[in-house]
Each structure stands twice: as structure tokens, then as C-alpha cells.
Chains A and B, each alone.
Chain A
Amino acid sequence: MPEHDVLVIGAGLAGQRAALAAAEKGVSVGIISKVHPVRSHSNAAQGGINAALQEGDSWESHAFDTVKGSDYLGDQDAIEIMCREAPEEILHLEHLGVTFHRNEEGRLGTRAFGGASQARTYYVADITGQAIMHVLYEQLMKYGDRIDRYEEWFTTALVLDDSGDCVGAVTRNVADGSMELFRSKAVIIATGGNGQMFQPTTNALICTGDGIAQAYRVGAKLMDMEMIQYHPTTLAGKGFLITEGARGEGAHLLNADGERFMEKYAPNKMELASRDVVSRAEQTEINEGRGFEDGTVALDVTVVPRKRIHEALREIVLVGRDFAGVDITREPIHIKPGNHYTMGGVKTDVVGATNVPGLYAAGEAACVSVHGGNRLGANSLLDTLIFGRRSGEDAAERAKRIDHSRPSAATLDDEQRKISDLLGRERGSGRRISEIRQELGATMDKHVAVFRDAEGIQAATEIVNRLKEELETAYVDDRDSVFNQDVLGAIELGYMLDNAEATCLAAAHREESRGAQYRTDFPERNDAEWLKHIDLSLNGDGPEISYSDVTMTQWEPQERTY
């Protein structure tokens, strides 16, 4: 039985940062990832990372922008911490070797981003997430003697001890199908978001909400699960992301009449209003018949100087060329809002701790909550790093305080039995896993997207419940042990259905419009009743709703205009 003081599940930015922080505290660390760490979806964060590091900028200004961006649902204590610690984190990354863009003096240079009152986004061309993650992985290799990496190990369940503390995980080695019980004094969930429950999505195929569901199943609370971000600029049909950096560099949004429509919706910030605002504006244009025939509007990057495009937006030149057949330096590209980010997740405090002792969460899987109803561009990388580090440090301190406990072996047996049940089902015994997954994706994108109403959410809820039943009899083709992705896909589908159930429930329950949740049947924000988080926990077989207050420090809710 592998044993570590701290076990990190997920090896994107949050997980790698947590592992490095814990190791620095001198405890033994294991980091488990279902894919090789550099395949993690943090790669996809193109545009940059925010920090108030420039002269004339202040963390308060960054914090206020974030609070406002969150539509006042973000917890202000957590936001203050994130924004105060951001500059130091950027410098730390720079010292580790991240090749951040420099200004003419050779110092760190910035670009503008949506929802921000200052240009405070630090970046590496448009591969910022990739660059940071590969540098962190360099550090994981450097500290290979202190951090054991379990690359391509798929976690199927968290493990509690008799007193209800989280003390490990059950994991399947993808390479040979063997199951292993890991023992640890603390577990950090850093498994990312759940975008794959929507189709299309900008999210990678691996973003199936694993850790969110695992934590929920052992009693952790989920929070803000109704808050799903639709990114304003994704390629129609395929869901690929066009970075907000494009608009940061000056690109325009145009409707089919060639009109720069953001003038009507956000006259001051125009294309750089926050994402929920821009996505709704686009969807309104499309719904009211001013979009193109393929249900899109256009992003015009040709207004950005070409030298600057090559230097700063090379990746999206490639995306345009390879995936849409469009040379963005010469013509506008058709885009639409697409599923992008999970604001909600496992409810944590400011050191990443959940309500389950020993269980932590960080990054997109977690909900601290710094993003509230809407995340600002270039705040997600920051969230992963700040709260990845904080959870790694706190988990290490916990590990130093306590002795190893005995994880229940029953969980391992249960997990093994579930997999053999799945493998034992006859082909044709039920539906194919892929059919259920596709129906889920289409359902969520139809009913729980940019605009929602009670009727649609109800329809989605019923479908999700039916799909959960159908999963019980669904079958897989692959019976082998080595690299059986079919089995993993079935388990992931179970995770996604749990996530979807929680999202539908919270979306139906919040009878107001705030941030990414826009209810056409309740179009106004209602601070009197709804300036609060919706928390969900598993009670018996079903979810139970409770509320928690939004932490306010210095910013009272105001009307939100851009």
C-alpha cells in the first residue's frame, strides 16, 4: 500500500503547485494524475495571469474588479487573499523560469483583459498556462526524490477512516488495470472542472468533474454549482477556445451587419466587459437574428497589428488555420459563447480545507469562492496557484500534526466489485456509454446554458435522472486490463452525472439572475433574497440544499455595469 503524508489527486497547475508547496514543508508527497501531468487542462489557459504588480496598480483594485466580476457572490476575504498574494506568486514563477513577456526595459510586461480596470495580466505569448505548467513540471522532476509521481493512475474513490477523516484514495493504474489503496494523512483534490458534461465545450475530454463528485460522495459540500461560465469566443461546433487576449489586444466583436454590437451592452468596456456580459450580448444578437447563419457572431482580429499578432497571439493563428480554415490575420472568424469554466465546486475555506477533515480541494475543482457568479479572465491560473499552494501548505501542517490512520479496506473491495460488475455486463445489455454521454452534453447545453428558465432546467433534471439509471445497465466493449479507457469512460460518466445533477438543482433553486446564471423567468439580481451561496451535500441517496453567507469585507453590492 503506497503511503504518503500528503496525497494530491490531479496534476494540473493547482495539483502541481500543491505538491511542490507540501514538499517544501518537508513532508512526503504523492501526486496522482489520470493523464500525464503535462496533458492537464491548465495548458488551455492561453491569455495570462492577473496580478497587481505594476506601479500604480493595487491589490485592492484587482480585488474590487474580481468582486464586481463575481456579481458580488465571491467571498471577499478569499478574494483579498488571492489578490494580495498574486504579485509574490508571479515573481516566484518568474524565478522558477517561466518565460513571461518583458517590456522594453526587460521587466515583466502586461496586457489588458476583460473586466479589469488596469492592464495587469502577465503572459507568455498565448501559451501562458502551458508555459507555467511545464515549468512546474520541471520542478516536479527536480524534486523527484521528494515527490512521487503516479502518472496515468485513475482515482475511483476517496477513502475515509472510522472517524470520518479522509485518509486516502482508491486508484486504478491505467497501464495494467491493477487497483491500489493509497494511504495518506491528507488528500488534496485538484482534478479540475466538469465542462465535459456540456457539449460542445472548450474543456478537454478529461474535464469530467471527477474530484468534485468523489468529494461529494464522501460528504463534502459543493457550492455555487449553478455558476457555469460560457466563454464569449469559442469556435462554433468544435468548442475550441479563442483567447480573451485577442480582445485584450484590441480585437472587435461584430454581428452579421458588421455592427460593433458591444456598444449597446457595455458602452465603456466594450469587448472587455466581463465574460457573462459579453456572452449574453452575443447570444442576444444571435437569438434576435443579427448573427450569421451558423448561429455565430464574428471576432475581428485584423484590427490588431500583424507583428503583434505573431508575437502575442500565435496560438490562435494556428487554431484559426488548423481548426476553422481561417487566417485570422486577414479575416474575421465566426465565434459563439461556449461552455468554459466551473465557478462552483467543492466548498473550501481559504486554506483549501473542506468540511471533511483531511480533505482539501484547490483550483477549478474547488469553490473558495473567489469567482462567485462569474470568473474574470486570467484569474483562474491565479486561483489554482494561490490556493494550490495554500492547500499544499496546510495539508503538510496537518500531516505533521497527526499520525497515519487506517483507511477502510472496504472501499477498495467496493471499487473492485463495481468495475467487475461493469466488465461483466453483456454487450447490448443497455445503452452504450457514449450515447448517454452525448445525450447529457446536448441536454445541458440546451437547457442549462447562457439563458435558463425553470421549465428547461426541469427538463434537464429529468433527463439527468433517467441517464443515471441507464448508466446502471450500460455496457463497455473493452474487457482487458491494460489501458482500458472504456471502463474509465464509464466511471467518468458517473462523475459527470453527479455534477450535472448538482448543477441543475442549484440552477433551479436560485430564482434570480446573477453572474453566469441568467434566468429568463427571473431576470433581475435579487440581493435581498439571493446574496448567498447555495451549498449541496449528499444526504442518503439524494442532495440536500443549505445556504451560506457571502463574506463581505469592504465592498457593498452595487449595480454592475461595464
Chain B
Amino acid sequence: MPEYTLKVRRYKPESGEGPYWQEFGVELDETLSVLDGLLQVKDREDGSLSVRCSCRAAICGSCGMKINGESGLGCKTQIGEAYEQANRRNGGGEPIVVEPMGNMPVVKDLVTDMESTHWKKIRRVTPWLLPEGDPPEREYVVEPESMIDITQSMACIQCGACVSACLSMEVDPEFIGPAALAKAYRFVGDPRDSEHRERLYDLAQDPHGIYDCTHCFACIDACPKGVAPMDQIMRLRREANHEFEINDVNNGRRHEQAFVKIVRKKGTLDESLLLQESYAQGIAGKLMPTGGAIKGLIGSIPTALRGIKAGKMRSLTKLIPGMHHKLPGDAQQHVERIYEHTEEHREHLNLYIKGEEAEDDVPEAAIEPEPDEAEETAEAEETAGKEEAEPAPDNVDAAPSGEGERPGPTDSEEGSS
């Protein structure tokens, strides 16, 4: 039986002392989970080690924790894999590091206060169906696909792993966050709900709402159920932006549009244009900037200066409009073709339709790449894993590491408030 060391971050509030690390030796089959290891510690050595757990099968969502710094479920992380992960760099001997989830106060050991962080935010999004009038005599008749579509967000088990991993929430603790926004999509995507516009308006106008997400993919990596919260947030934005054309006070929509427009024109992001285009759109906007635009631009100066100071602008020429480098050869036309393609083939990829590993499971609705396009996207697909159904290679750069598991985002949306 293999032996492992679990290095656990302990905290006993009644001791009057701060958190400390404690190592425990466990022996169990490598295919068993980190939670099994912790339960063995409780059973054999120290019953005071506190960890929420129940189903052991990744369905109850109790055992959210950080393992080697990564947020996930203890029961779903095999201890052998956790060991390998901990020792990837140095050949062995390192313990598996187990900590409570982030972005939440710790109650005791691995137990966090989810009420004051996670659940409060879930309640923030009016998490119940708001149908119009009395229900029909029989069921609501809806598109079959619409139910499968929102089943991906219904698959959320409220474990908090995405909240724990959320980088935006580290900066803005009031960010509504990935779990609650994924929950919001469950209603916005539900044809039985009658308040899609009101919900989206609310979430777009909130400075801690949908435009507070920085598109970092951390929640997608952390989610043990393939809910892909960030994708749900992007769907909310898409609905707010395209279907309801909600211009938010955070300038999120315009920022996003500016991003899309600049990349379409220049192939990559010309930072010198981003701010002005976000606040003062098009020539008309620049000739006759609104009061809000001027205020917004002036207000952004400190951020821009900080960016320069932090080395984000490596060359000051980038600040000069028109100096942005062009793409080599006919690459710009390829970018344009990608735009046209995604506009024609807009679709939401969903794990309930597509499966976990794309491979040979191209769904009926999937895009068959044109022969010439297939060529040009080959490289991108290599990076993204084996996703034949990947429709938006323009986003590949944004993915930290493609695992072929994440449904590809379909729009080239970026940006943050």
C-alpha cells in the first residue's frame, strides 16, 4: 500500500493561536482520494481534524478545498495524482499540501464560512424562477435544447471551488462571482423565466456584476462538474450585449465592443485605441465626446499610468495611435475570416451535448471546418487539445492550457470593467 504525507493547514479558533501546518502520514491505494486520506487521518490518528464531507463521489459539494494550491474537491482528487502533482518539479518526497478554500473566512481547519461569502452571493441573483402569470395546466412547452443548455449550470453542486479560485474576487471581494453568475444564467437561459431583461440589466449595472469578470479561466479549471462558470458569465454578457443591448454604467458593453472591433481591424489589441474606443465609440464619439466619456477617460489616466509604470507598456510608441504593428502577410484576412465564421456559426457548446472529450464526438451541430480553414487552425488546435469542434481559435491564446475538456468560447469577447 503506497504511503503519502498530507501537509494540512490547521486552525483551531478556540486555541487562541493562529493557523499552523501539520503533517500526517497515510497509507492508501493511489486511486483513492485526498478526502479518503483525510478521513483515514480522522479515523486513525486525529479525530479533531475538521473537514466537511458527505457523498465521497463529487455530487454533494461538501469537500471543497485547495490541494497543492489548486481549488477542487477532496473526494475527486486522486491521492496518487496529487502526489505526482506535488512532486512534478523535484522528483519526490514533497508532501501533498491541503488547505481550506480561498476567498472565504476559515471556521476551523478545512471548514470555511460559505454562508457569508458564497450563499449570500447566490441569494444576490434572485435565485428562483420568475415565470409570468399562472403556470399552464400541463408542463411549459419549451425547446428541448434549452433544457439541456441550462442543465450545464444546473450541474453546479455549490461546492465553492470556483469562488475559491476566482482571481477577480481576490481583488474585489464584492464581485458576485462565478458560482452565483452561473446560477443566474440558469434563469436567463430558462425560457420559462419572464425576467431575462431585468436580471441582465441588474447584473450588468452592478459594478461587481458580469463585467467584473476578467476572463481568466480559473473557475473553469477549478470546477469539478464541468459547469464552466466563466462560459456562463460570457453567455450572460452576450445576452446583455447582443439580445438586450444593455449599455451599462460600468462601460462594460462598450469596452467589449471596442475590444472586438480593434482586434478585427488590427489582428491584435492596440492598447492605444482601447480606452478611447471604449469610452468614445467611432468617429462621432470622438468628435463629440459625451460628458461621461470625458469623465471616464480622465478617470482612467491613473490606471494607464500604473500600467506604464508596471511595464505593461514595454514601448511608449504603443501609446501613439497608428503605430501599432500589423500582422505579417495576409494574416489580417485570416482574422477577418475567423470573425465571419464565428458570426455565422454562433453556438453554445455544452458538455451535455458534446461530451467530456471532444475527439470523435463531433456533435451534429458542430462546425465542419472549411479545408483551408482547417489548415490555418491546425496549430491552434494543437495548443487547445483535441477539440475538433473548437470554433474560435482566436481565443486560444487566452487559455492558460487547453485540456480539450473546456467548451470553446464562441465569441471573441474580452475586457473588464
Contacts and interface: CB of A to CB of B under 8 A. Distances in A.
Interface of A: 35-36, 38-41, 43-44, 91, 94-97, 99-109, 124-125, 127, 130-131, 134-135, 138-139, 141-142, 144, 151, 175, 204-206, 238, 240-241, 306-307, 309-311, 314-315, 317-319, 321-323, 325, 329, 432-434, 438, 476-486, 489
Given A100-B147, A314-B352, A478-B48, A35 B54 contact: yes
A103 B55 CA distance: 31
Given A106-B141, A307-B363, A99 B154 contact: yes
A100 B150 CA distance: 11
Contact of B55 (A41, A99, A142, A483): A41
Interface in B370-392: none
B53 interface: yes
B114 A131 contact: no
B55 A204 contact: yes
A482 B151 contact: no
Interface string B101-129: 00000011101001100000011000111
Contacts of B107: 175, 482-483
A99 B31 contact: no
Interface stretch (B39-47, B208-216, B323-331): B39-47
Contacts of B139: 91, 94-95, 100, 107-108
B144 interface: yes
Interface of B: 12-14, 31, 42-44, 46-48, 50-62, 76, 78, 107-109, 111, 114-115, 122-123, 127-129, 131, 135, 138-144, 147-148, 150-151, 154-158, 187, 190, 192-193, 225-226, 351-356, 361, 363-364
Contacts of B13: 482
Contacts of B354: 310
A322 B405 CA distance: 14
Given A97-B192, A127-B154, A314-B155, 5 more contacts: A41-B54, A43-B55, A43-B60, A95-B131, A480-B14
Given A317-B356, A482-B108, A38 B361 contact: no
Nearest to A99: B147
B245 to A, nearest CB: 27
Contacts of A94: 139-140
Contacts of A107: 138-139, 141
B44 A39 contact: no
A378 B14 CA distance: 46
A175 B108 CA distance: 9
A38 B12 CA distance: 26
B352 A139 contact: no
A486 B190 CA distance: 43
A91 B57 contact: no
Given A95-B135, A127-B155, A311-B148, A486 B47 contact: yes
Contacts of A481: 14
A97 B190 contact: yes
Contact of B190 (A99, A139, A141): A99
B355 to A, nearest CB: 4
6 contacts: A43-B157, A124-B154, A134-B154, A138-B127, A151-B115, A478-B47
A38 B61 contact: yes
Nearest to A489: B47
Nearest to A34: B54
A318 B147 contact: no
Contacts of A127: 59, 151, 154-155
Contacts of B351: 310, 314
A104 to B, nearest CB: 6
B353 A310 contact: yes
Nearest to A105: B141
B138 A206 contact: no
- Rank and list the top 7 A-B pairs by shortest CB-CB distance, nearest first: A478-B48, A97-B129, A434-B43, A477-B47, A95-B135, A310-B355, A102-B144
A476 B47 contact: yes
A127 B154 CA distance: 9
Nearest to B148: A311
A128 B354 CA distance: 20
Contact of B12 (A103, A321, A325, A480): A480
Contacts of A99: 147, 150-151, 154, 190
Contacts of A479: 48
A197 to B, nearest CB: 16
Given A131-B154, A310-B352, A310-B355, A434 B47 contact: yes
B59 A139 contact: no
A151 B150 CA distance: 27
Contact of B48 (A36, A314, A315, A480): A480
Contacts of B60: 35, 38-41, 43-44, 204
B54 A39 contact: yes
B43 A432 contact: yes
B57 A241 contact: yes
Contact of B57 (A319, A478, A486): A319
Contact of B138 (A39, A91, A438, A489): A91
Most buried by A among B50, B139, B143, B154: B139
B386 to A, nearest CB: 14
B352 A311 contact: yes
Contacts of B109: 483
Contacts of A97: 128-129, 187, 190, 192-193
Nearest to B225: A318
B57 A44 contact: yes
Contact of A322 (B58, B61, B141, B156): B58
Contacts of A483: 50, 107-109, 111
Contacts of A438: 43
A106 B144 contact: yes
Contacts of B44: 432, 434
A487 B242 CA distance: 55
A306 B127 CA distance: 33
A144 B115 CA distance: 14
B50 A138 contact: no
Contacts of B140: 94-95
Contacts of B50: 478, 483-485
Nearest to A438: B43
A152 B227 CA distance: 26
A95 B76 CA distance: 33
A103 B138 contact: no
Nearest to B46: A477
Contacts of A238: 56
A318 B356 contact: yes
Contacts of A142: 128
Contact of A39 (B12, B31, B61): B61
A135 B31 CA distance: 34
Contacts of A138: 127-129
A480 B108 CA distance: 10
Contacts of A205: 53-56
A138 B186 CA distance: 12
B232 to A, nearest CB: 14
Contacts of A477: 46-48
A433 B42 CA distance: 10
Contact of A106 (B53, B143, B156, B225): B143
Given A204-B55, A434-B43, A141 B123 contact: yes
Most buried by A among B31, B61, B140, B141: B140
B36 to A, nearest CB: 9
Contacts of B56: 204-205, 238, 240
Contacts of B226: 318
A39 B62 contact: yes
A330 to B, nearest CB: 11
Most buried by A among B13, B60, B192: B60
Contacts of B151: 99, 124-125, 127, 131
Contact of A141 (B59, B76, B127, B353): B127
Contacts of A319: 57-58
A101 B151 CA distance: 9
Most buried by B among A44, A103, A130, A483: A483
A142 B147 CA distance: 22
